Amino acid sequence: MPPKISGIIQALEPSATMAMAAKARELKAAGKTVYDLSVGEPDFTTPAHICQAAVEAMQAGHTHYTVASGIPELKKAVVEQYKAAHGLEYAPAQVVVANGAKHALHNVFTVLLDPGDEVIIPAPYWVSYAELVRLSSGTPVIVETPQENNFKLTPQALRAALTPNTRVLLLCSPSNPTGGMYSREELGALADVALERDLTVMADEIYDRLVYGENVFASFPTVRPGLQERTVVINGVSKTYAMTGWRIGWSLSPQNLAKAMADLQSQETSNPCSVSQYAAVAALTGPQQCVAEMLAEFAKRREFVRKRLAAIPGVSFPEISGAFYAFVNIKQHLGRAYGGTQVDNSTQWCLELLAQKNVATVMGSAFGAEGYARLSFAAGMATLEAALDRIEEFVTKS
């Protein structure tokens, strides 16, 4: 008999984005050309000065354990960046550096939640939130938001979801998967409910610097006085600096939570990779021109994707204000056959698109929104052009 897997892990849904990316890789390994719009990973290489800082860190002997919650230089750089960008004052002790923002989120849920504690998650949501809450013994409470409101949570919908067990409100702005972003006013209205009902807010701000056009990003703790004491901000270098593989993210939180997370991390993972931490210091404190250049390229791709999608009959998508995703409503293209195969839901649609046209996307159901598909435009322009030709052909000629 193979060893028994624990109940909590048996109930775990593996990440659908990772699964689609793995399928795309399998096809590539079998010699197929795959147009991969599945994964939220910038296609740029990490800027050279950041890589150089990592080399220098290794040469200087920074190849040992560090303080479990992160090196002081990185905490200082994070604090200074939040001060400069948003005018927020944090002490370095409020920063806990983790192995990516995903790990930072898991840390926060672990130290915050007891069994039965509810976390409000507006849907569509990033694939990992609900699973991380469950892994931390909490209960995700999914609140649907309509496409007509650009998939944003309203104070009314938030109030309707509150119970005596509600502990946490989770907000992701700019959003993965929708590309939507809350205005300062919209966040303020949600903050009023959080203050009134004594909620802790987790603000996932990992896409804060990937914002397009006239849109202005507002960091959640800045929208009302008194929020900083009840907010955990999540951020990291993965998306802004094309550093997904380095695995550095962090939380900015009230001191008692930061202390609890540092203790947890000291038992669980020790420190995040020492060399990556030095690279992250270079990312935050070095020249920022690379961020502007990547943003300009994402902006071009966003324009291209919007134009191409707008020309495909029977699909719609909300305004893309930030991040690098289009969340496409494909409901009019379900309930029919594609190349002889009946397709009734977003999973079947994405799998057939991959099988018949070699284009990888992610099914809306993975984000709690059936009838949609997420396209990442973190892929290069040639890939996007070929993928959109094929998507158009798939829905109009199948």
Question: Judged by CB, which is closer to ligand PLP: 225, or 245?
Answer: 245
The answer to the question of residue 244 lying near ligand PLP (CB under 6 A) is: yes
Contact 312, 300 (CB under 8 A): no
Question: Judged by CB, which is closer to ligand PLP: 95, or 206?
Answer: 206
Residue nearest to ligand PLP (CB): 100
- Write out the binding residues for ligand PLP, residues 73-112 only, by CB under 6 A: 100-102
Query: CA-to-CA distance for 341 and 351, rounded, in angstroms?
Result: 11
State the nearest-atom distance from the C-beta of 357 to ligand PLP, in Å.
Answer: 24
Question: Judged by CB, which is closer to ligand PLP: 124, or 249?
Answer: 249
The answer to the question of residue 249 lying near ligand PLP (CB under 6 A) is: yes
State the nearest-atom distance from the C-beta of 260 to ligand PLP, in Å.
Answer: 20
Radius of gyration, CA atoms only, the chain: 21
Cβ atoms within 10 A of the Cβ of 356, count? 16
Place of tokens 């669980």: 268
Per DSSP (E only), the strands in the chain are 35-36, 95-98, 118-123, 139-144, 166-172, 200-204, 231-236, 249-252, 325-329, 336-338, 341-343, 359-360, 362-363, 372-376
In this chain, which of 236, 272, 322, 364 binds ligand PLP, going by CB under 6 A? Answer: 236
In this chain, which of 94, 176, 253, 346 binds ligand PLP, going by CB under 6 A? Answer: 176
Locate 72 and state its tokens.
Answer: 């002081």
The answer to the question of residue 276 lying near ligand PLP (CB under 6 A) is: no
Query: CA-to-CA distance for 86 and 296, rounded, in angstroms?
Result: 22
The answer to the question of residue 42 lying near ligand PLP (CB under 6 A) is: no
Query: CA-to-CA distance for 182 and 251, rounded, in angstroms?
Result: 20
In this chain, which of 204, 205, 208, 352 binds ligand PLP, going by CB under 6 A? Answer: 204
Locate 114 and state its tokens.
Answer: 């007891």
Question: Judged by CB, which is closer to ligand PLP: 38, or 176?
Answer: 176
The answer to the question of residue 251 lying near ligand PLP (CB under 6 A) is: no
Helix %, strand %, coil % of the chain (to 5): 45, 15, 40
Contact 306, 326 (CB under 8 A): yes
Contact 34, 24 (CB under 8 A): yes
Question: Judged by CB, which is closer to ligand PLP: 170, or 312?
Answer: 170
In this chain, which of 222, 238, 251, 383 binds ligand PLP, going by CB under 6 A? Answer: 238
Question: Judged by CB, which is closer to ligand PLP: 173, or 222?
Answer: 173
Phi-psi region at 185: left, alpha or beta (left = phi > 0; alpha = psi -120 to 50): alpha
Query: CA-to-CA distance for 130 and 114, rounded, in angstroms?
Result: 15
Question: Judged by CB, which is closer to ligand PLP: 75, or 333?
Answer: 75
Cβ atoms within 10 A of the Cβ of 10, count? 8
Q: Could you give the string, one character per residue 124-163, with x where binding to ligand PLP holds by CB under 6 A and - elsewhere?
A: --x-------------------------------------
State the nearest-atom distance from the C-beta of 305 to ligand PLP, in Å.
Answer: 17
State the nearest-atom distance from the C-beta of 272 to ligand PLP, in Å.
Answer: 11
State the nearest-atom distance from the C-beta of 116 to ligand PLP, in Å.
Answer: 25
Please name the helix (run of DSSP H) or strand (run of DSSP E) that holds residue 86, with its range, or none: helix 72-86
Question: Judged by CB, which is closer to ligand PLP: 46, or 176?
Answer: 176
The answer to the question of residue 179 lying near ligand PLP (CB under 6 A) is: no
CA angle, corner 123, sides to 121 and 129, nearest 5?
Answer: 45
In this chain, which of 16, 20, 36, 40 binds ligand PLP, going by CB under 6 A? Answer: 40
The answer to the question of residue 172 lying near ligand PLP (CB under 6 A) is: yes
* Amino acid sitting at position 28: K
Contact 271, 239 (CB under 8 A): no
Determine the size of the site formed for ligand PLP (CB under 6 A): 13
For ligand PLP, the binding residues (CB under 6 A) are 40, 100-102, 126, 172, 176, 204, 206, 236, 238, 244, 249
